[in-house]
Amino acid sequence: MTLIKSISGIRGTIGGNVGDNLTPIDAVKFASAYGTWIKQQRDKDNYRVVVGRDARISGEMIQNLVMNTLVGLGIHVIDLGLSTTPTVEIAVPMEHADGGIILTASHNPKQWNALKLLDAKGEFLNGEEGAKILKIAESKEMSFAEVDDLGEITINDAYIDLHIDEVLDLELVNKKAIEKANFKVVVDGVNSTGGIAIPLLLERLGVHAIELYCEPTGHFPHNPEPLKEHLTDLSEAVVKANADFGIVVDPDVDRLAFMDEKGEMFGEEYTLVACADYVLSKTPGNTVSNMSSTRALRDITEKHGGSYEASAVGEVNVVNLMKKNNAIIGGEGNGGIIYPESHYGRDALVGVALFLSLLAEKQMKVSALRASYPNYFMSKNKIQLTPELDVDALLVAMEDKYSKENLTTIDGVKIDFANSWVHLRKSNTEPIIRIYTEAPSQEEADNLADRIISEIKTFANI
C-alpha cells in the first residue's frame, strides 16, 4: 500500500487500485473532504482556495481533478499553475483565501504525488484538523453545490514574481552587497518549478546563474532528494564553470542545499545553520529545529546568546514550537528554512537570499564558511516497512534497551549519548523507518547507524 495519510498530507503513487494508491478517485475523495472541512470553518457566502503544483508529470491531471472537485463544492479556486510550496503558502493570506492545496510529493520520485493542505494562514494543518478531514473522507458526508452555486476557477500566474518581491523586501536581505559581490552560481532545478523561481530570484539579485536541469518538464534527471549521491552533475558543473557555489532544491522548492566552489556538499544540515548564523548576528533570539537535525544549530544559537529547542519531525510541529518559543528562525535539517519575518513555512527562496547576504557580507569562500561551523557528521538510513514488522513494538524494545541513556519519545525514539545521538522514527512520507545518527566523525556516525540497524534487524528477525 502506497497511499499515506499523515500530518504531511495525502501522498501516494499514481495508478493502481483505489484506496491503495493516489488514483483519480482518491484525489477527488480527499479534495472533497478538504473542501467540506473548509466550509465547516466559517459560514459565509463565498469560499476561496489557492491551488498550485510542482512540475511532476501527474501534476496537471491531479490539479484538474482537485480544482474541479472544489468547484463542485461551490468553492472558488485561484489557480497558480506551476508554482512552489512556499509560493502557495504566501498566496493564501495575500488572496484572503480560506485555504490552499499544493500538489507535490516533495522529494519523492516521479511516480509519487500528494495533496498538501493549508489553512487560512497559509500554514500546514495540525494533526487534529488533519484527522477531521480524514474522518470526513471516510464518512462520505459531503454535500455538493447546486448548478447555480458552482465555484469558478481564476488563473493567476503572477505569484512567483510576487513571492520574489516579498523576499527582496525582507530587511535582512542585503541586495546591494549581493549585487556588488558579482556571484556566479550553478542552479540545479531538478526539472521542476525551482528551475523557474530560483533563476528569477538570482537575476533580481544581480547573480549570474548557470542553469542545470531548469526546464519544468517533470522528468527528474536524478533522484529528486537533494543528497550528495544524487548531485554528481551539479558538482562537475560547479567546478567546470569555476562558480562560487551551487544551489539545488527539491521539486516543490521548500528544501535547499548548497555545494561549495570545490564541488563538495556544504551539507543540507548546514543550510539552516548558516542562515541562522546570519539572522542571529543581526537580530539575536531563539531557534527551533526538529529532533532529527544537527546539534550545530544549538551551538550557533547559544554562541549568539539565544536558546534552542527541538520539536517532533514535521513542519507543523516545528512551526508550533517556534511560535511557542518566539523563535526568530527555525526549520529542518533537510535544508528547510522557516523565517517568520516572511512566513511560517519552509522556503528555499528565502534561504537563498539569506545565504547570499551572509556570503556577500563575510566575503569568504563557501568552503571556508562551512569550515567555520561546528563539525558534525550524520548518517541517514532507512528500513523498508513490511506488513509483518511491528514498528511500535520495535521502538519500545529500543527504548527499553537504552533506558539508562537520555531518551526523548515525542516522535519515535531519540537516544542522546554524550557525543552522538540516534533517532528512530516511522516516516510521515514513505513506508519506511528512518534511522538518523550524528557524531563527531563520519566513521563514528556510520558505525553507530550500523550497530542500531543490526539491533533492529535482530529484534525484528529480518
Tally the C-alpha atoms within 13 A of residue 54's C-alpha that lie toward its C-beta. Answer: 33
CA 343 – CA 387 distance, rounded (Å)? 39
Who contacts 236 (Cβ-Cβ below 8 Å, separation ≥6)?
263
Residue 273 host element (H or E) = helix 268-282
Please tell me whether residue 184 adopts helix, strand or coil conformation. Answer: strand
Closest CA to 109 of 3, 46, 190: 190
Tell me which amino acid residue 393 is: A
- What is the rounded CA–CA span in Å between residue 56 and residue 104? 8
Shortest CA distance to 319 belongs to which of 331, 336, 308, 309? 331
Please give the backbone phi and psi of residue 185, each rounded to the nearest 5 degrees, phi first.
Answer: -130, 155
Cell numbers at 285, concatenated: 533570539
Distances in Å between the alpha carbon of 274 and those of 91, 247, 456? 27, 14, 34
Fill in the amino acid letter for 74. Answer: G
- Among 8, 32, 106, 192, the active-site one is 106
Distance CA 193, CA 454 (A): 40
Question: 378 has which bridge partners?
Answer: 438
Question: By C-alpha distance, which of 366, 171, 383, 183 is closest to 267?
Answer: 366
**CA separation for the pair 167, 348 (Å, rounded):** 10
Instruction: Answer yes or no: are the C-beta atoms of 49 and 78 closer than 8 Å.
Output: yes
CA 121 to chain centre: 17
Query: In the sheet that 336-338 helps form, which strands lie side by side, from edge to edge?
Result: 308-311, 286-290, 327-332, 336-338
**Does residue 420 have an active-site annotation?**
no
Instruction: List, by residue number, the catalytic residues.
Output: 106
